[in-house]
């Protein structure tokens, strides 16, 4: 195992009793391109290694229960974590119950955490551009109900690395002209998209203005982060949130 710090902890003013962390790629036992703290079973890694890594994450973070893992499909589907049976196809989960761990896995897509200022409601969201475009953030905010929220933007592909086609920019422009300034033109009809700015714009339109994080780039920091765009065959980080 690597001796490097295996977790990133959000720098946000979450209320007492709300806990959160993102796993980095150090501290686990996975080998090869999954080196080393891969938490995903669906990427071709050795199952025993992944399960060891998941136990390590649970023990080191003193999680109150096994995280509620999702089969993420770039959808807008949100589930209540405490009601989950099996592995649901969804890209966000929420809870108002203590001891339930909401979790998403990423390797360039945006992990977004939400919590109410009273600390009673929390959510974890997997926001790739498709899910973001299709309303996964709005659905999660709606699921949390009427409350003031804090948001934290975890490690994702940075604005200098996320090249997309014209069709992506047009799709967001059709959703709202407010998204226009999240895209910068490149040669050959391509655009650089700022997924952090896209999420901030969406959150602002939903009334969420207390937003933190969003200063990472998974592509340019291979020692800390997995990146699908950089490596194709790779592991996943887990971003988790729970409350007392």
CA distance 41 to 51: 8
Residue-level pLDDT at 4: 66
Give, for all 244 residues of the chain, the pLDDT tens digit. 344 689 999 999 999 999 999 999 999 999 999 999 999 999 999 999 999 999 999 999 999 999 999 999 999 999 999 999 999 999 999 999 999 999 999 999 999 999 999 999 999 999 999 999 999 999 999 999 999 999 999 999 999 999 999 999 999 999 999 999 999 999 999 999 999 999 999 999 999 999 999 999 999 999 999 999 999 999 999 999 999 9
Contact 196, 153 (CB under 8 A): yes
The answer as to whether 219 is a domain residue is: yes
Residue-level pLDDT at 5: 84
Contact 19, 242 (CB under 8 A): yes
The answer as to whether 180 is a domain residue is: no
- Structural domain boundaries enclosing 148: 7-158+209-243
The answer as to whether 233 is a domain residue is: yes
Number of domains in the chain: 1
Query: CA distances (Å), 210 to each of 82, 108, 141, 146, 164, in order?
Result: 26, 23, 13, 15, 28
Q: Considering the entire predicted model, what is its pTM?
A: 0.97
Contact 241, 101 (CB under 8 A): yes
Q: Which of 55, 60, 44, 3 shows the shortest CA–CA distance to 26?
A: 3
**Residues found in the chain:** 244
The answer as to whether 138 is a domain residue is: yes
The answer as to whether 191 is a domain residue is: no
Distance of CA 236 to the CA centre of its chain: 10
The answer as to whether 165 is a domain residue is: no
Q: Which of 204, 106, 196, 128 shows the shortest CA–CA distance to 159?
A: 196
The answer as to whether 221 is a domain residue is: yes
The answer as to whether 190 is a domain residue is: no
For residue 214, the domain's CATH number is 3.60.140.10
């Amino acid at each position: 195992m690597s001796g490097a710090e295996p977790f990133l902890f959000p720098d946000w003013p979450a209320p007492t009793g709300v806990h959160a962390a993102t796993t980095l790629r150090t501290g686990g036992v996975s080998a090869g391109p999954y080196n080393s703290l891969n938490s995903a079973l669906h990427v071709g890694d050795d199952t025993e290694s992944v399960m060891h890594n998941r136990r390590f994450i649970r023990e080191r973070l003193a999680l109150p229960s096994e995280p509620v893992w999702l089969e993420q499909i770039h959808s807008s589907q949100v589930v209540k974590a405490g009601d989950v049976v099996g592995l649901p196809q969804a890209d966000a989960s929420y809870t108002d119950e203590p001891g339930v761990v909401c979790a998403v896995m990423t390797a360039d897509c945006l992990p977004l955490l939400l919590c109410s200022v009273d600390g009673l409601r929390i959510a974890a969201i997997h926001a790739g551009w498709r899910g973001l475009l299709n309303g996964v953030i709005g659905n999660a905010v709606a699921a949390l109900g009427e409350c003031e929220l804090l948001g934290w933007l975890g490690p994702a592909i940075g604005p200098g690395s996320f090249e997309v086609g014209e069709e992506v920019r047009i799709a967001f422009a059709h959703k709202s002209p407010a998204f226009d300034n999240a895209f910068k033109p490149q040669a050959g009809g391509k655009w650089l998209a700022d997924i952090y700015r896209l999420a901030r714009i969406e959150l602002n339109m939903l009334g969420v203005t207390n937003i933190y994080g969003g200063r990472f780039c998974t592509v340019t920091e291979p020692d800390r982060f997995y990146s699908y765009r950089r490596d194709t065959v790779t592991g996943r980080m887990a971003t988790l949130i729970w409350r007392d």
